[in-house]
Each structure stands twice: as structure tokens, then as C-alpha cells.
Structure 1
């Protein structure tokens, strides 16, 4: 799919940590440091390269452990579909995620529609 070989933006999801923590983001050969702000259970940072990129490197400098939940590369336009498709999975593994973090992701991602089907 030619249209998905490059991305216009990414979103980094991370938890609380020290005030001086940062991430060095490298895209298209350009390095840009970003302070990891926010003390919520889940924080989000929008990362926008100057031109559409094919790769992104994240180098974290933290002063104490800080959870990093992941990076999303969704387009700023259209519909985003999250899918937990684990063949033979009853969904019980999702109950191990603390409710505080699930609720925080709900606030950060601002879900408009959730469909559960098992």
C-alpha cells in the first residue's frame, strides 16, 4: 500500500516520571528533543516530522523508571480502528490492565464508538 509507506504524524503514549525526562526523536535525519511532560497515568505527545517520514527513532533519557506504552501512526484524517484480535483469546487478559490506566487511555484517545464482540 503506497499510501501507508510514510506517516505525517505519530503519537507517543507514556506514563508519569521525573520532571527532567526527555525523548530525542529522529525522523528524516533531523533530531529534535522533546520534554516528557505530564504526570497523568497516561500522557500523549503529538510528534510531527517536517515532511512525511518512513522511519522514526526514539531515544529516551529518563532519571527514574517511566512507563512507555507505545506509539501510534494513525493519519489525522479518517476513521481509526483499534483491534484486539487474538485467536482463541477470551479477553480475560485485558482484565490485568489496571482500571486507572484504561480510564486514562479513554480520556486521552476520546473514543467515540466502542464495539465489543466475542
Structure 2
């Protein structure tokens, strides 16, 4: 069972590193680990403890929950939005940020819909 869990952990690290376009070296350094620590753990086949896994998650810019949630996939821009949201102190500031982003997205959707309507109108004529 431990071997299966270890393989899962390392597979997940590789998958998420690929999604955020980071090398394992960069994940380690960004997470506060020694530069070859992830490589060395993989080579030995050792299970990272919670402290190390938390640093790996930091290097991947994900939470532990997101790490284990296989449904979680966010591209670079989505991660920037998540990090920005999390950087705000207080729920009211986070709510204001959310309202701004949702309002901006709505305005862009309306703009895109209007542009699409104009294209369709031209094609009809």
C-alpha cells in the first residue's frame, strides 16, 4: 500500500508541475526545499512527510486539498486569480474582488456577444 501511495504522490507532483509549467527543481526552490530534494526522494522512493509535502504544494502554488483533489485543474491565469483572491485580508475585501471580477467578466461577455451578433448580421447580408 505504501508503494502505491508513494507512486500516487509523485505522479501527482509531476502532473501539477507540468500544469504550472515548472520543473521539479523550480517547485523545490519555490517551496523552500533544497534544489534536488524532490529528485532525491523520488530516486529513493521515499514518501514525503507532511511538512515536505506542504512545501511541495507551496512550490506548486496549490493547497494540500487541491493537491489531493484530482478534479482540480487550473491554468496559470486561474492560479493568478486564486492567489490574488487569497492575498486579500478580510472577507469584505475578498467579496469586493469577486464582485469586480464577475462584473468585468460580464462586461466582456456582453462585449463578445455584441461582436458575435455583428459578425452574424454581416454574414446574413
Q: TM-score range by the shorter chain?
A: under 0.3
Bigger helix fraction: 2
- Per the normalisation by structure 2, the TM-score is 0.20
Compare the two structures and name the one with the higher strand fraction.
1
Relative contact order higher in (CA < 8 Å, ≥ 6 apart): 1
Please say which structure displays the higher CA radius of gyration.
Answer: 2
Q: TM-score, with normalisation over the residues of structure 1?
A: 0.21
